[in-house]
Amino acid sequence: MASEATTTAASDDPNALLRLWRNKEARSVIIQVFTLAVLFAFLAFIIDNAVQNLTRLGKTFSFTFMLEPAGYDINQRLIEYTSRDNHLRAMFVGIINTVLVAGCGIVLATILGFIFGVLRLSKNWLINRLVYCFIEFTRNVPVLLHILLIHGLIVHIMPVPRNAWVVGEAVFLTNRGVIMPKPIFEDGFIWTSLAFVAAIVFAWGFRRWAKRAQDATGKIYPVFLVGLAVIIGLPTLVLFVSGVPLSWEIPALKGFNFRGGLVMRPEFLALWLALSFYTSAYIAEIVRAGILAVDWGQTEAAYAIGIRPNRTLQLVVIPQALRVIIPPLTSQYLNLTKNSSLAIAIGYMDIVATIGGISLMQTGKEMETMIIVLSIYLCFSLVISSFMNWYNKKIKLVER
């Protein structure tokens, strides 16, 4: 009898592994562990294969080449650099150039995108159609062609330095770039810089105070005008009080080109404008979709209480539309930053052209240089995504 009871209990008990698999939480953990094991096995295979191939070619895997002299010049740089500096210094110059064109492109593309997005909804037929044609043309042409087109226009249409177009007797437009006066900061300019920072802090604090006052009383303060006046007025006042510790290096034509001053090279201008125009066309459609996503009743309610159309757009429509605009806008910022790698097509020395281009060919360190370039772009993307996600959470609706 006892043996029969034991046999029956064993037959009624399912297998332990089967019982574990049927458990939803346990099955989820098993699948995740298995997936990670396959992923790590694949990475181990790739790394081992790369090491074997490098050994077969007589190469080693190291980053010591970064301390060797680069041996090449970089035509546009914001920090001191010569061909005798090492590859690490060249990498920093390339990173700064990438950040410069990506940052300027994001700012200009955002401004143009919001303007075009609002004008796309204009009741003026001519303006609406013109913006529509610009957006459709720009979006349906590859960005590389935009870069080559604008670069070609600058190089072949703009005059040579001897026949430069002069703006204000100090700015010269040529096929070698835009040459403008270069500021020379002297001793004592630090106080003007501190005044500028203090003005920005004041403008930010005033904006927060005006927002709280508006929520409490309904009174609207001229935040933009006050902030602009303080940001411009306070540093200017401190500049004159401190004896104007600022001079300008005026460019002068010597030989076949200008000497001195600050130069915006054709490569930077072409890349900046092309990326900005191309991305602004997508941002315009995102802005248009965000505005249309706001119920028309919101606009009618604002008109009913006497709010002007421009203030309605600023205070009612745009704040609500931002919740729809920000997520796809993040993707456009990321695309613009990554599209800046096309700079190598026109000779702009960004991170791809320096470490991923000339340094790679000189040292033969394909694996190491590509790891550096990929890691840098990954960091750029993570920084932009983190900031935009923070801003998206800040403006989201607070549920009660």
At 80-100, the pLDDT tens digits run 888 888 999 999 999 999 999
Q: Is the pLDDT reported for residue 193 higher than 50?
A: yes
* Residue 82 burial class via C-beta count within 10 angstroms: exposed 0-12, middle 13-18, buried 19 and up: exposed
d(C-alpha 35, C-alpha 315), whole Å:
49
Tokens of residue 299, six digits:
């606009």
Q: Which fold has domain 87-159+264-395?
A: MetI-like fold (1.10.3720)
pLDDT at 199: 93
- pLDDT tens across 342-378, in order? 988 998 999 999 998 899 988 888 888 999 999 999 9
Residues with Cβ within 8 Å of 65's Cβ and at least 6 positions away in sequence, in order, are 87, 359, 363, 365, 368
In whole angstroms, how far apart are CA 96 and each of 77, 103, 131, 275, 375? 8, 10, 33, 17, 15
- Whether pTM exceeds 0.85: no
Q: How many Cβ atoms sit within 10 Å of the Cβ of residue 267?
A: 25
Average pLDDT, integer, range 266-276: 93
Q: Is the pLDDT reported for residue 10 higher than 80?
A: no
Q: Is the pLDDT reported for residue 8 higher than 70?
A: no
Average pLDDT, integer, range 129-144: 93
Q: Is the pLDDT reported for residue 330 higher than 90?
A: yes
**Three-state DSSP state, 272:** helix
Q: Is the pLDDT reported for residue 20 higher than 80?
A: no
The domain spans of the chain are: 13-55, 87-159+264-395, 186-248
Contact 270, 150 (CB under 8 A): yes
Q: Is the pLDDT reported for residue 304 higher than 60?
A: yes
- pLDDT tens across 26-84, in order? 888 888 899 999 999 998 998 888 878 878 877 778 888 889 888 888 888 888 888 88
